[in-house]
Structure 1
């Protein structure tokens, strides 16, 4: 027969190759063994002996001489009955027939007994009238219970092993997590995520708005990895570590992701808390494994987020054990970063917002060679951050982004991202097709003050008191030269507050006595306004008094701004948080209290003086606030005139407006002169 020329290849068969076989799985072996066990039981075991009673055995089987033998199983307390072969036909219905019947060799029936002595007496009584040659004498045996014996020995060990595996799987992260997850012998392995050319995050420096100085420092490290000869020709060495320090939400982790996206080298990312486990030595083992992997892929970058989890200063944390796991992990990290062994080509990036509690050995030159401070963004940086987070939003036409940057002083990058997201949610809640300016203002109020309490019951008298209180803050802060200029005042209840005032803090690195004093005066303006206009005071000034008291104590005890206690600071940056003693005497404490009282009284009198001199404008402002519920700095400028001095923020706003106006002028000239 001729073969078919159009023969189709087998499944999973490629030309010139053997057919692909399915992958072997060990679970199939277990399934086959279990199936084989059941098949053996089904085909070869047959039906077991049938249960009967002593009455049936005595009245029928013994009386009719049908029993071949009786076997007493002493350890099980039962008697097995073996019938004569010619008598099996009588019990065919109970014993079965053909395949699956009780074996002919027996035992065919069994019954239980109480005690052997009682059974022997009953058997003798039943055979009293039978000839001696035909009497049945029982046989005695002990049947071993193999399965019971095996289970009694094996089952406890199986349970212990199962519990042990379960605990170690939970500790090692189960089937997810870091490298070797689910293996009980990989507890000491590093859980760092490795990003290479294929798995590199799609984040680069273009996605990091602001942080220009920090990006310069980090880009130098990336450039060193890309072009090392440029630096080594001049004798420079690659930096071993860089520490990103700054408040939460300023973009430290995002900057590290941008480094991973820009660098053409492997990038290891791990959190500081992943080194710490309940077992002794696990943290140090993971540090060793991390650096072993990093050295194999050098040059590379290792990023440790929240390094204060393991880098806390030794001896400052309360440890009552002689072997602290955190200290062991830190010691191993110090050794790996700059120890006896060479660590060439591995750069350590770390991030923390608690650099003051880190161990000094971790911050010395040779380990973290440089500290990159990631501060809160200023006005220009906030403008750039808004541009990044506004890209995916559908915005109304001609939205002034610089206005949004002015309305968010002191906001971090994470706060700005939250503002943009909250504004989009508010616009969607109102069934709008675009996100408008008012949505952003509502989002800012929602984040700063909390959710608006529309159903909160406030009497007219309370509402008037709140309006004059907030107007007092606004009036004093606007008329004082060194106080923070006011941005907005609201008497809409939000969260736990009945009213709030938003200020525009100046971009300054140091603060003078006059600036601190004027800020205290503006904080006490609310209480002073209540006393002047209503001749009584309320509990609404609690947060103001708390802030003023703390600020006054800081001026006297920390900054050395007192009249009697000049140039003396009782602040100790190295002091442990578990110290209970004061660094000064009781007499000095009385002097501090006296000077704090004097400076607060002076600020309060100053606030009352300003409100008394400008009472007409203050009343006008309070009535306007009662009418609108929200007023802005433009309203204060109409009543009191422009402020005496421009803050740094206002100067930056002016610079931005001049720059935008300049760009518009250049655009207009280019349109009028196409050849230019």
Structure 2
């Protein structure tokens, strides 16, 4: 029952507990024979490192002792039982210290060791070089060494050059980042804020260059007087408004007026667009406003002009898309409040949408002076046309007032474009000067689009278009309150196949009921002419735009102008908010007006059928007729051959 000690010379020494093995009833010899296979003296005398068939097996042994103490698990699909490995690993294995370097890293960190030799002779001896080849070996070794030295020197020079180039590129890149906007907030918060805002002297722009807005010039004259002679106002204790807001549609001359104010007063002019203050970085707009006003104060007296003010001074709202949008307008308000009385800095803002401005911006003490800059009337258009016609070679016989009468609704920019288009047309036609023909051509091109001479229109459609346009002209000519005719043409322009233009004698600031009904009758003339000449089944879609115009006029007469006896003078801006009965009544009255207009046009064209036919034939022959030629045709006279 005591532990059993036994020793096999040359193999191992072990202590076995027979009770643990279940062999407590066996004797010593039985234990040895049962537990260990018999070893021959030859096998026991062999070194342990030599493997035998007995020592290496991939099968389980018949002995429990071998299975427990001699089997060694090996990586792979089989287990390896080896007596030698058991003895070396189980009893005599020494733990190797890996230090701080993991085993899988040793292959990457360990370099191949070269031949350890102190000199060339030792190397020859280690390599066993024959005596006859030793001299060649030494020569080759020396040449290789020199070549390696040269390559090493070249490699080192290349590395130095590469490092120098990379260093230069890094410095240049950092400098570029510091000077480039929208790259890094760390280097620059915005662009242009660290440089001075350069003012412009407007000595060549005065009120003489501004035409067609006399009322606006008169209102801005007091601003000019203040900038010229501020003591005149301060002596009486008066204060000029800090800001002047110019309100008007595009192209009416708001920017030109602001420049003229600075030019008349001979003071520096600072120009800024509202969109320039809106950037992607937080605080950019506020910083630019601070910089602009700081420069202006240092150069007072001066004029600051902010174009498109609604883009920077819009109403402040809570927007998740622009959570910092308030900062810019708040800074603008603070800068305007920071002006001292009569400091000499005038802020002029321009906008097309005054309703979009923040109320705090247009209150008294900021932009408290508002000047409306409307589109010019016929007198203003005449002055503008004369101003621009002076800059080109033009026929002295041209009457600018005729062109002005036919350009209702044109702004100053539109009139400048008209004169320029006429000059281009004259140059294309190789003419020495611009005549009325080129001006009319440019006006039609702007109003109706370019001519489509390449459009292939068959004879039937040309005939329908001629009678259609003649119907408009006949109704306009014989209706008392209609506008005078300017031109009739069947030349395709833009989306239309023909057109009849009117030429009012003066601008109409308001229109009578008779004038509105006359406009409806003229619109109906085209469709009525088609129905009379070609029949109900052959009417075309060419009258769609005419019906749009007539319906719009009729609806405005009923719902806005109070020109309906049945519904009275009540207005109906939003018909969807009215009762179904009211909506039906409005539609009925509109239909009545349209039907009456159609009937009047029908009666008029039937009573002037001969004139209608003559005018249509003249259009087919000449393609375009002016007012005098239309009058001659309707009077039965013959036109001159072109």
Q: TM-score, normalised by structure 1?
A: 0.65
1:519 and 2:519 matched: yes
Kindly indicate whether the alpha-carbon contact (under 8 Å) linking 1:246 and 1:375 is maintained by their aligned counterparts in 2: yes
Give me the whole-angstrom Cα distance separating, in 2, the residues matched to 1:86 and 1:500.
108
Identify if the C-alpha distance between structure 1 residues 330 and 607 changes in structure 2 by more than 3 Å, giving closer, same or farther.
farther
Q: Does 1:613 align with 2:607?
A: yes
CA contact (8 A) 2:179 2:188 kept: yes
Residues in 1 aligned to 2:235 and 2:485: alpha-carbon distance in whole angstroms:
55
Q: Specify the alignment match of 1:373 in structure 2.
A: 372
- Counterparts in 2 of 1:14-53, with a 5 A limit? none
CA distance in 2, matches of 1:323, 1:247: 28
Change in 2 beyond 3 A, CA 1:434/1:362: same
In 1, Cα distance between equivalents of 2:367 and 2:194: 21
CA distance in 2, matches of 1:637, 1:458: 27
Contact 1:73 1:79 in 2 (8 A): no
- 1:233-312 → structure 2 map (5 Å cutoff): 233-312=235-314
Q: CA deviation at 1:356?
A: 3.6
Counterpart in the other structure of 1:490: 489
- 588, 591, 600: which one pairs with 2:594? 600
In the alignment, the residues of structure 2 paired with residue 605 and residue 273 of structure 1 have an alpha-carbon distance, to the nearest angstrom, of 54
User: In structure 2, do the counterparts of structure 1 residues 299 and 459 end up closer, same or farther at CA, with 3 Å as the change threshold?
Assistant: same
What CA distance in whole angstroms lies between the structure 1 residues aligned with 2:447 and 2:545? 15
Indicate the SS of the match to 1:269. Answer: strand
Where 1:239 maps in the other structure, the secondary structure is coil
Which residue pairs with 2:26 in the alignment? none
Cα distance in 2 for partners of 1:90, 1:263 equals: 93
Deviation at 1:276, TM superposition (A): 1.8
Partner secondary structure for residue 221 of structure 1 = helix
* Structure 1 residue 490 displacement after superposition: 1.2
Q: 1:171 aligns with which of 164, 182, 187?
A: 182
Which aligned pairs between 1:368-407 and structure 2 lie closer than 5 A? 368-396=367-395, 398-407=397-406
- Kindly indicate whether the alpha-carbon contact (under 8 Å) linking 2:274 and 2:310 is maintained by their aligned counterparts in 1: yes
Paired with 1:272 and 1:192, the residues of 2 have a C-alpha distance of 18
Q: Deviations over 1:289-338 (max 9, x none)?
A: 333333333332111111122333455xxx65286444443344344434
Distance 1:348 1:438, change over 3 A: same
1:244/1:352 contact within 8 Å kept: yes
Unmatched 5+ residue regions in structure 1? Answer: 1-71, 104-145, 175-180, 573-580, 642-676
1:186 aligns to 2:190 (yes or no): yes
In the other structure, the counterpart of 1:568 is: 570
Instruction: State the SS of the aligned residue for 2:226.
Output: helix
The answer on whether the counterparts of 2:177 and 2:187 sit within 8 Å (CA) in structure 1 is: no
**Structure 2 residue 141 is matched with structure 1 residue 94:** no
Which runs of structure 2 are paired with 1:205-216 in the superposition (5 Å)?
205-216=207-218
Q: Which protein is bigger by CA-based radius of gyration?
A: 2
Which residue in 1 is equivalent to 2:409? 410
What is aligned with 1:552?
Answer: 554
Q: Return closer, same or farther for 1:490/1:224 CA change in 2, 3 Å cut-off.
A: same
Q: How does 1:446-525 map to 2 (within 5 A)?
A: 446-505=445-504, 506-525=506-525
**SS of the counterpart of 2:349?**
strand
> Is contact 2:205–2:259 with CA below 8 Å preserved after alignment?
yes
Give 1:365 deviation, angstroms. 3.3
**Residue 526 of structure 1: how far off its partner (Å):** 1.3
Asked if structure 2 preserves the Cα contact closer than 8 Å seen for 1:192 and 1:268, the reply is no
| 8 A contact 1:468–1:619 mirrored in 2 | yes
Structure 1 residues 295, 397: closer, same or farther in 2, change over 3 A? closer
Correspondence list, 1:614-629, <5 A: 614-629=608-623
Cα RMSD after superposing both structures: 3.8
> How far, CA to CA, are the matches of 1:393 and 1:309 in structure 2?
37
Within-5 A mapping of 1:62-101:
75=108, 78-79=111-112, 81=114, 84-86=118-120, 90-96=140-146, 100=150
Give 1:499 deviation, angstroms: 0.7
Q: Give the Cα separation in 1 of the matches to 2:562 and 2:612.
A: 35
Q: What is the CA-CA distance between 1:192 and the residue it aligns to? A: 9.6
| Structure 1 residues 366 and 503: alpha-carbon distance in aligned structure 2, compared to 1, 3 A threshold | farther
Q: Secondary structure at the match of 1:434?
A: coil
Q: Which runs of 5+ in 2 are unaligned?
A: 1-104, 122-137, 154-158, 636-642
Check 1:602–1:363 CA distance in 2 against 1; reply closer, same or farther (3 A cut). Answer: farther
The whole-number CA distance in structure 2 between the counterparts of 1:464 and 1:344 is 72
How far apart are the structure 1 equivalents of 2:549 and 2:196? Answer: 44
Change (3 A) 1:249 1:313: same
The Cα shift of 1:419 comes to 1.6
Q: Contact between 1:283 and 1:325, CA under 8 Å: does it hold in 2?
A: no
Q: CA deviation at 1:271?
A: 1.0
Distance 1:554 1:167 in 2: 61
Q: Does structure 1 conserve the Cα–Cα contact (< 8 Å) formed by 2:421 and 2:442?
A: yes
- 3-state DSSP of counterpart to 1:91: helix
Q: Check conservation: 1:376, 1:412, Cα contact below 8 A.
A: yes
State the match for 1:351 in structure 2.
350
Shift of 1:452: 1.1
The whole-number CA distance in structure 1 between the counterparts of 2:510 and 2:351 is 24
Q: Is the 8 A contact 2:619 2:625 kept in 1?
A: yes
1:540 matches 2:534: no
Aligned partners of 1:353 and 1:479: how far apart in 2?
A: 41
User: Is residue 363 of structure 1 aligned with residue 362 of structure 2?
Assistant: yes
Task: Give the secondary structure class of the aligned counterpart of 1:481.
Answer: coil
SS in 1 for 2:577: coil
1:270, distance to aligned residue in structure 2 (A): 0.9
Give the corresponding residue for 1:115. Answer: none
Pairwise CA distance, 1:269 = 0.9
Residues 230 and 342 in structure 2, CA contact (< 8 A), matched pair in contact too: no
1:229 matched to 2:231:
yes
User: Residues 234 and 530 (structure 1 numbering): CA distance in 2 closer, same or farther, change over 3 Å?
Assistant: farther
Change (3 A) 1:193 1:543: farther
What secondary structure does 2:180 align onto? helix
- Identify the residue that residue 65 of structure 1 maps to in structure 2: none
Could you tell me the TM-score, scaled by structure 2's length? 0.69
1:530-570 per-position Cα deviation (integer Å, ceiling 9, x unaligned): 22222232100111112222333333333333334333334
1:529 paired to 2:529: yes
What is the aligned partner in structure 2 of residue 38 from structure 1?
Answer: none
Give the Å deviation of 1:612: 2.5
